[in-house]
Chain A
């Protein structure tokens, strides 16, 4: 009987220990590090001598609370001029965690690539053409050259910009900035935004 009593005593102690030792921790707010809240397109017009013409013009798409809140992002209308050449740079940021994501994309340049789709770029009569012009020479799309057709009759169009992550850059066709079948190269979309375009 004595051993029985002892066993139950030990059991009681163990149980009370375990019960007091586990209460859930106080929650801690998390900064969503992955989230992209702001995408800015910077256009710098340049002439035949590659000299800049006029001021840098910028257009933004922003979704300050991220995906979960379900509010639609606000997206600026992009306005470009017929027959002009622009250097387009893309700036990606997370305003919640105050993070520069452009730098992260450049660090993992072998895993990221932008594609430029929608009526602005797809098809023979598309008003815009795009060529990758990243300083490192890789095909990323953080910097590129956008040319607006001189003779286009299109005034309104859609610029769809997709950022692919973890794709196979050697997949046949993946080097085309207007690659419609980009999903076939694998990976997933980190960004998929459509900017309305007005051509003046």
Chain B
């Protein structure tokens, strides 16, 4: 019965896929009708070793006596060619020349060339910066360049909404957790420059402790990547990566200035990158950002106490020689953020009163002041990374990461207690990675390694509140191996990992010391493949098993969740979650058309969730609803799509969206806080003339979010109605000598629409943000 339903659902997706394939074929046939001598050879040049793009490689088409130079993304185009056979040569300093013969028939020709480094020790050896590209056969989407620039000033969660299949689980306007295919918190992993970010991510109101400004590229891996990244990467991985450090003499500074009318937000960021002229291969980067905003305005009123103050730093220093690479990195994230005063309800009656009102009782006023309730979070991350080329195809890597996370949460209390945090957690994490890579030209490549995580969490005494979670020590050891085989258009990849984790906890309950010793272990594996059906069309499929041991809060929570009028109770007997995610992606990259279609099924055994028991606790403070952490079998499945099309040289459009289903198959009902179906589409008009490559365009976009009809059996308030938002943006790039100036003007929520989003926990208390006009200046010098 259940199986039948499942098959029926999957068939829907298959049909949808067939439909999109048909559209693809149609588009392909349209584009093939190009005239004879207006064909082009397109391609991408990357390093064989790490798949990084190569800029400024020289491409020559012998027969046509014409050439091109690859751009910063490694792309090149040689235009105005007639159909026929051509010989292409590619040259790049320190790398072996590539000579290829191609048959050019249609305008869809595109090929990726991997350049191999020349034998080491030669005078001409070019040392390049290291940033390992994600080499996975699973679905990957990235945010970079113009799109990343457009998202500047937003937090990580908000920025990532630009990727289809990614949404946010938020608490007001300043706390947004990224959600990949319906999973968030401990079910996805965030990597800060290669180190798994370890904060108190279990809490629904705990935002990731990372500054998106430190990245020049943010990548989302949508498949289960437990083998590569360790337990918890079951829903996906977010890689926040800075640009590789320079290895040549250079100096560049990038300044961002952002202002927003809603909340009177100001944001400044500066990055300075330089390569030493004295020591070859030595480079550094230093980056800092500061942000200040006040009370957010919803249509008709201000949300009281919603200001944010943020201060972030990051720096790295690296040295690369032909054999050895060393990098030291440090990042600091510090935020003070106010929590909407009205969301701190005393008991169930209070909560019901404000839900019935639909918005805060008072109209509020603008202020930068941040009062209780508030959060103060500081996250330090330091890493040391080194690699050593043992031989041409073998590389040894070592990485050590240290993190210290301090989280203080202040509540509205009486008297001097207002100065004392009611939650004060200090979390130390040490991670060690030791692994070898081997790369053989177009054959086998792989990674074998071990990974250690050690974690110590302490409640800093003196809060005057019994801690929500105990003090604990956690130790995790993982050992893994992955191999990839590439032959022609096909890549096949498989991996296996074993993890062992121990957890020791200690706490006082009613003056009585309670300790627990728990251990968990599991195997995980994946098998994936990628096939280039044509130069423009790629299909990949990946099936991966993943697991996640229960988190400390799920095991041991015992206490009141402020603002939710809930008492949450953990269960120390919870078992690990086991997940199997099968994800398929079809990608088409044409001259005018770009399409991406992802479909996945993800059954999870022993999915842990917070379930209302139907009981209430009556206390002197009033009534509270009791929730317990419990386990059930779950089935997640859905589709994401993203596409763009250039109608003319000036006009282009895009469309993206996603649908997620998350069912509790034991109880035959739905899990709470799963994103509703949504579509985002827009049209751009480019003012730039053909010969001017600088951006000068205006975009009108429309976000449509459906009502969440797949609601859980119990919720304090029904899912809010569907909504539509309109946004306009204008981007212009100017050159001042050798310097670049980017200007952006954005109007978000153009019509000051009053709406609530199902994925925002504050939908119980308030409408979302009204119109916001942002001015963004970016200067590169």
Give chain A's interface residues, CB within 8 Å of chain B: 4, 7-8, 11, 14-15, 18-19, 22-34, 36-37, 39, 61-63, 65-68, 70, 72-73, 97, 101, 104-105, 107-108, 165-166, 168, 183-186, 188-193
Q: At the interface, yes or no: B346 with Cβ under 8 Å from chain A?
A: yes
Do A192 and B622 form a contact, CB below 8 Å, given A23-B473, A27-B459?
Answer: yes
Q: Which residues of A contact B472 (CB under 8 A)?
A: 24
Q: Which residues of A contact B473 (CB under 8 A)?
A: 23-24
Mask of B447-475 contacts with A, CB within 8 angstroms, 1/0: 00000001011110111111100111100
Determine, out of B172-180, B411-419, B636-644, the stretch whose residues face the partner at the interface.
Answer: B411-419
B461 touches A30 (CB 8 A): yes
B384 touches A67 (CB 8 A): no
- Determine which of B414, B458, B559 lies in contact with A25 in the assembled complex, contact meaning CB atoms within 8 Å: B458
A33 touches B346 (CB 8 A): no
Known: A32-B466, A188-B344; 14 extra A-B contacts, CB below 8 A, are A11-B386, A15-B432, A18-B402, A32-B464, A32-B465, A34-B414, A36-B621, A72-B619, A105-B414, A108-B415, A185-B361, A189-B346, A189-B621, A192-B622
Q: Which residues of B contact A105 (CB under 8 A)?
A: 414
A sample of 15 inter-chain contacts (CB < 8 A) reads A15-B432, A24-B458, A24-B472, A32-B466, A34-B422, A65-B510, A67-B567, A67-B624, A70-B617, A72-B618, A73-B618, A73-B619, A104-B414, A168-B362, A184-B361
Q: A113 → chain B, closest Cβ, in Å?
A: 13
Q: Which residues of A contact B623 (CB under 8 A)?
A: 192
Q: A174 → chain B, closest Cβ, in Å?
A: 11
Which residue, B346, B467, B507, B617, has most C-beta atoms of chain A within 10 A? B346
Q: At the interface, yes or no: B444 with Cβ under 8 Å from chain A?
A: no
Do A27 and B361 form a contact, CB below 8 Å, given A22-B456, A68-B560?
Answer: no
Q: Which residues of A contact B510 (CB under 8 A)?
A: 65
Q: Which residues of A contact B621 (CB under 8 A)?
A: 36, 67, 189-192
Q: Which residues of B contact A67 (CB under 8 A)?
A: 560, 567, 617, 619, 621, 624
- Determine which of A14, A15, A185, A189 lies in contact with B347 in the assembled complex, contact meaning CB atoms within 8 Å: A189
Q: Which residues of B contact A28 (CB under 8 A)?
A: 459, 461, 508
Determine, out of B93-101, B130-138, B348-356, the stretch whose residues face the partner at the interface.
Answer: B348-356
B400 touches A15 (CB 8 A): yes
- Determine which of B388, B430, B457 lies in contact with A19 in the assembled complex, contact meaning CB atoms within 8 Å: B430
Q: At the interface, yes or no: B69 with Cβ under 8 Å from chain A?
A: no
A183 touches B350 (CB 8 A): yes
In the complex formed, the residue of B with least CB distance to A105 is B414
A11 to B388, CA, bound (A): 14
10 nearest A-B pairs in the assembled complex, by CB-CB distance: A189-B346, A33-B464, A192-B622, A188-B346, A183-B353, A22-B428, A29-B508, A25-B458, A28-B461, A24-B456
Which residue, B414, B454, B459, has most C-beta atoms of chain A within 10 A? B414
Q: Which residues of B contact A31 (CB under 8 A)?
A: 464
Which residue, B386, B413, B567, has most C-beta atoms of chain A within 10 A? B413
B344 touches A34 (CB 8 A): no
- Determine which of B413, B415, B622 lies in contact with A107 in the assembled complex, contact meaning CB atoms within 8 Å: B415
- Determine which of B412, B467, B620 lies in contact with A188 in the assembled complex, contact meaning CB atoms within 8 Å: B412
- Determine which of B386, B467, B622, B624 lies in contact with A30 in the assembled complex, contact meaning CB atoms within 8 Å: B467
Q: Which residues of A contact B30 (CB under 8 A)?
A: none
Q: At the interface, yes or no: B324 with Cβ under 8 Å from chain A?
A: yes
A97 to B413, CA, bound (A): 15
Give chain B's interface residues, CB within 8 Å of chain A: 324, 326, 341-342, 344-347, 349-350, 353-354, 357, 360-362, 384, 386, 388, 398, 400, 402, 412-415, 417, 422, 428, 430, 432, 454, 456-459, 461-467, 470-473, 506-508, 510-511, 513, 558-560, 567, 617-624, 626
A185 to B353, CA, bound (A): 11
In the complex formed, the residue of A with least CB distance to B615 is A70
A68 to B623, CA, bound (A): 12
Q: Which residues of A contact B361 (CB under 8 A)?
A: 183-186
In the complex formed, the residue of A with least CB distance to B626 is A70
In the complex formed, the residue of A with least CB distance to B515 is A27
- Determine which of A27, A104, A188, A190 lies in contact with B506 in the assembled complex, contact meaning CB atoms within 8 Å: A27
Which residue, A14, A22, A39, has most C-beta atoms of chain B within 10 A? A22
A26 to B510, CA, bound (A): 16
A29 to B388, CA, bound (A): 49
A194 to B463, CA, bound (A): 30
A22 touches B430 (CB 8 A): yes
Q: Which residues of A contact B388 (CB under 8 A)?
A: 4
Q: Which residues of B contact A107 (CB under 8 A)?
A: 415
Q: B613 → chain A, closest Cβ, in Å?
A: 11
A8 to B388, CA, bound (A): 11
Q: Which residues of B contact A4 (CB under 8 A)?
A: 324, 388
Q: Which residues of B contact A30 (CB under 8 A)?
A: 461-467, 508
A27 touches B507 (CB 8 A): yes
In the complex formed, the residue of B with least CB distance to A36 is B620
A26 to B412, CA, bound (A): 28
A186 to B364, CA, bound (A): 11
A189 touches B326 (CB 8 A): no
A68 touches B414 (CB 8 A): no
Q: A192 → chain B, closest Cβ, in Å?
A: 3
Do A34 and B465 form a contact, CB below 8 Å, given A27-B508, A105-B414, A189-B347?
Answer: yes
A167 to B623, CA, bound (A): 20
A194 to B461, CA, bound (A): 35
A165 touches B412 (CB 8 A): yes
A23 to B619, CA, bound (A): 37
Q: Which residues of A contact B464 (CB under 8 A)?
A: 30-34, 97
Q: A181 → chain B, closest Cβ, in Å?
A: 9
A31 to B353, CA, bound (A): 31
B400 touches A14 (CB 8 A): yes
Q: A106 → chain B, closest Cβ, in Å?
A: 11
B620 touches A11 (CB 8 A): no
A91 to B388, CA, bound (A): 72
A165 to B411, CA, bound (A): 12
A168 to B398, CA, bound (A): 59
Q: B363 → chain A, closest Cβ, in Å?
A: 11
A193 touches B620 (CB 8 A): yes
Q: A127 → chain B, closest Cβ, in Å?
A: 23
Do A33 and B417 form a contact, CB below 8 Å, given A67-B619, A183-B354?
Answer: yes
B326 touches A186 (CB 8 A): no
Q: B427 → chain A, closest Cβ, in Å?
A: 9
A61 to B618, CA, bound (A): 12
- Determine which of A18, A27, A108, A190 lies in contact with B430 in the assembled complex, contact meaning CB atoms within 8 Å: A18
A34 touches B506 (CB 8 A): no
Q: B653 → chain A, closest Cβ, in Å?
A: 47
Do A7 and B471 form a contact, CB below 8 Å, given A24-B456, A68-B466?
Answer: no
A4 to B466, CA, bound (A): 49
Q: Which residues of A contact B618 (CB under 8 A)?
A: 72-73
Q: A96 → chain B, closest Cβ, in Å?
A: 9
- Determine which of B349, B471, B617 lies in contact with A26 in the assembled complex, contact meaning CB atoms within 8 Å: B471
A62 to B559, CA, bound (A): 19
Q: B568 → chain A, closest Cβ, in Å?
A: 10
Q: A109 → chain B, closest Cβ, in Å?
A: 11
In the complex formed, the residue of A with least CB distance to B459 is A27
Q: Which residues of A contact B324 (CB under 8 A)?
A: 4
A193 to B422, CA, bound (A): 24
A104 touches B415 (CB 8 A): yes
A25 touches B471 (CB 8 A): yes
In the complex formed, the residue of B with least CB distance to A161 is B620
Q: Which residues of B contact A29 (CB under 8 A)?
A: 508, 511
B346 touches A190 (CB 8 A): yes
Q: A185 → chain B, closest Cβ, in Å?
A: 7
Q: B626 → chain A, closest Cβ, in Å?
A: 7
A105 to B619, CA, bound (A): 19
Q: Which residues of B contact A36 (CB under 8 A)?
A: 620-621
In the complex formed, the residue of B with least CB distance to A164 is B346
A24 touches B457 (CB 8 A): yes
A68 touches B559 (CB 8 A): yes
Do A34 and B622 form a contact, CB below 8 Å, given A18-B430, A22-B430?
Answer: no
Q: Which residues of A contact B360 (CB under 8 A)?
A: 186
In the complex formed, the residue of A with least CB distance to B371 is A166
